[in-house]
Amino acid sequence: MHTRRNFFLSMSALAGVGTAAWACPAPVAQENQHSILMLNAACGEDNTPNVFEPAILRVNVGDSVTFVPTDAGHNSASKRGMIPDGADPWNGAVDENLTITFTVPGIYGHICVPHYEWGMVGLIVVGDDLSNLASVKKVRHPGQARKTFRALLKTLET
């Protein structure tokens, strides 16, 4: 909790927003720069552990995304088979910020390696290109990750 609070307070100072809702930090978004928070639980939902916030992020080609370990014990790694052809995979260290610049349009699936099986997964959509959706949907996942990815992909199709 203190980690979240300290992160939000520092991000609030940078973004010039108030600190009234510090218990639920908001990802920071500036022109061409975005963040995805890695949390032990979804804000306001004690029964949804280990999440990326937001779970789905839409960005433009050339934008950067920083994965922020707001709570300890998380990382972000691209999921093999769930990134566009020609895109570079990534595998960040646990408890460290990781910034990725997305230069290839398409859908990117990412996971927290320690909590993947428990469903800590997310999607980044770069540009309006969903041409790799069929290949992304074919990737198999263990445990709760299967259900979470299925729900996220349904959101893209609607």
Give me the pLDDT at residue 65, please. Answer: 97
pLDDT at position 46, please?
64
Residues of the chain with pLDDT under 70: 1-29, 44-46
Please indicate if the annotation marks 82 as binding a ligand: no
- For residue 131, what pLDDT is reported? 95
Dist. CA 79–CA 131, nearest whole Å: 17
Q: How many CB atoms lie within 10 A of CB 104?
A: 16
Strand ranges (E), 43-143: 45-53, 56-59, 64-68, 77-78, 98-101, 106-111, 121-126
- Tell me how many helices (H) and strands (E) the chain has: 3, 9
Could you tell me what percent of the chain has a pLDDT over 70? 80
What are the tokens at 143?
């445990």
Is 120 annotated to bind a ligand? Reply is yes
pLDDT at 15: 38
The per-residue pLDDT for 83 is: 98
Is 115 annotated to bind a ligand? Reply is yes
Q: Is 92 exposed, middle or buried (0-12, 13-18, 19+ CB in 10 A)?
A: buried
**pTM of the predicted model as reported, rounded to 2 decimal places:** 0.81
Residue with tokens 């990725």: 100
pLDDT at 107: 98
| 11 annotated among ligand-binding-site residues | no
Q: What is the pLDDT of residue 26?
A: 65
Terminal CA-CA length for the chain: 35
Instruction: Find out if CATH 2.60.40.420 is the number for domain 27-157.
Output: yes
